[in-house]
Amino acid sequence: MERLDQIFVDVKHWVLGYVPPDLQPWVSIFLSITPILLFFPLLFGITTILERKGLGRMQNRLGPNRVGPAGFFQFIADGLKMLTKEDIVPRAADRIIHFIAPFMLLVPVLLAFSVLPYGRNMVPIDIDGGLLFFFAVGSATELSVFMAGWSSRNKYSLLGAMRGIAQMISYELPLVLSALTVVMMVGSLRLTQIVDAQSATIGGVLHAWHLFTPWGFAGFLLFLVAATAESNRTPFDIPEAESEIIAGYLVEYSGFKYALFFLGEYLGLFAVSTLGITLFLGGWLPPFAFLDAGPSWLWFFLKLLAMIFLFIWIRGTLPRLRTDQLMAFAWKFMLPMTLINILVAGLWRFVGIGIGWIICPLLLLAAYYIFGRALQPRLAKRTYRFAE
C-alpha cells in the first residue's frame, strides 16, 4: 500500500534517473506541470457531463444521451464545436485586450494548482507562503473580467464586468478571512503543514480535521459560500445572468475564447475546492485513522469529487439572488460572521477545549441570529407597485 501511495512520486524519480543531471530540474518541472495540464481539463470535461446529467435527473429530464455511451462523449463534441465556431470580434473592440482576456483568467488558475498538495509528498511547489501565493494569483482573475468587459466596447459587457468585479471583490474578503482562522490555529501558511496539523486523532479513531471544531465548521461553511460566489456558481451566478444583462462580460465572446472562459471558471472551482479540502477536510488524510494505509491521493480526489457533487446539488436546488441581495449578504452577513469566527478561534485557543465547546458554539449561534435578523428585510420578497 505504501508503494501504491507513492506510485506517482516513484515514477517521476524513475524517469529522472535516465535524464542527465543538468537537465533534471527542467524535466522535473515538466513532469510536475504535465499532470495538472492533463488531469484538470479532462476533469472539466467529465464534470460538465456529470453536471448536465445530474441536473437532468434532479429536474426529471434526461440530459445528454446521444453522443457516445449514455452521452458521455458529449463534452468532446462540444469541444470540437467550440474549436470550429467562428471567432466574432466587434469592429470597435480593442482586439489585443479582447484576445488576451481569456488567458488572463486561465493562467492564474493554473498557477494556483502549483502549490496545492494532492497527496503525501505530492505537491508541485511546497513553499512557506503557499496559501498567500494561492490568494495572490487568484486575485488576478478580477483583471481578466474587467479586460473582457472593457475591451468589447459594449455597454452591456462593461456593466456586467463592473457587477462581476464588485461581486468577486466583496466575496474575496470573507474567503480570505475564513481561511485566516486555520492560519491562526496552525501557525503556518505552508499548505502541507496545515494538512499535517490535522493528522492527530480524536479518541484514536477520527483524524482531527478542522471541520470537527466549532470555528472550523463555521469557517468551512463561510468558505464554501464565498467560494461559490467567487466561482460564479448558482445562486451567485449573476455575472452571467442571461435574463438580466444578456450574458454579462462574455456577451461579445464566441467560439474558443468563450470556451476558455468556461474552462477557467471550472478550473477555479476545482482549485478553490482543493483549497477548502486542504484547510478544513484534512487534505489527503482519510476520515478514520485505521484507513491511513490507503493511497493518500485517492482520498484527496474522492473528497474533490464529493465537493463537485455538492456544487452541482446546490445549482439544482437554489434560485438566483438579486444583485442587491447578493451584495447585502456579503457585507452585512458574511464579513461580520468571518470576523466573529476569528474571535471564536482565538477563544478556542486560549480558554481550552472543554470550555470552548460551550462558549464558541453559543457565540456563533448568537452572531448568526443577530446578523441574520438584520439581513432579513433585505432578503424579503420585493413588492412591485404599478401606476394605474
pLDDT above 90 covers what percent of the chain? 57
**Residue 291 predicted with pLDDT over 70:** yes
The reply to whether 55 falls in a domain is no
Least confident of 168-182, 227-241, 326-340: 227-241
C-alpha cell at 222: 463561510
Distance from C-alpha of 137 to C-alpha of 112, rounded to nearest angstrom: 6
Band of residue 239 on the pLDDT scale cut at 50, 70, 90: low
Are 87 and 254 contacting, i.e. CB atoms less than 8 angstroms apart? yes
Closest to 143 (Cα-Cα) out of 172, 174, 180: 172
Residue 201, amino acid:
T
The reply to whether 260 falls in a domain is yes
The reply to whether 132 falls in a domain is yes
The reply to whether 366 falls in a domain is yes
- Model pLDDT for residues 40-52, shown as the tens digit of each residue: 999 999 999 999 9
The reply to whether 202 falls in a domain is yes
Query: Which residue's entry shows cell 466587434?
Result: 90
Distance from C-alpha of 139 to C-alpha of 300, rounded to nearest angstrom: 25
The reply to whether 38 falls in a domain is no
Query: Domain residues for 253?
Result: 88-376
Domains held by the chain: number? 1
Q: Note the pTM of the prediction, 2 decimals.
A: 0.92
- Model pLDDT for residues 85-105, shown as the tens digit of each residue: 888 888 888 999 999 999 998
Question: What mean pLDDT comes out for the span 374-386?
Answer: 73
Question: What mean pLDDT comes out for the span 27-42?
Answer: 92
Distance from C-alpha of 311 to C-alpha of 334, rounded to nearest angstrom: 19
Are 116 and 274 contacting, i.e. CB atoms less than 8 angstroms apart? yes
Question: What mean pLDDT comes out for the span 162-175?
Answer: 91
The reply to whether 215 falls in a domain is yes
**Residue 347 predicted with pLDDT over 90:** yes
**Residue 363 predicted with pLDDT over 90:** yes
Q: Which residues pair with 207 in a beta bridge?
A: 201
Band of residue 304 on the pLDDT scale cut at 50, 70, 90: very high
The reply to whether 144 falls in a domain is yes
Question: For position 175, what pLDDT does the model report?
Answer: 95
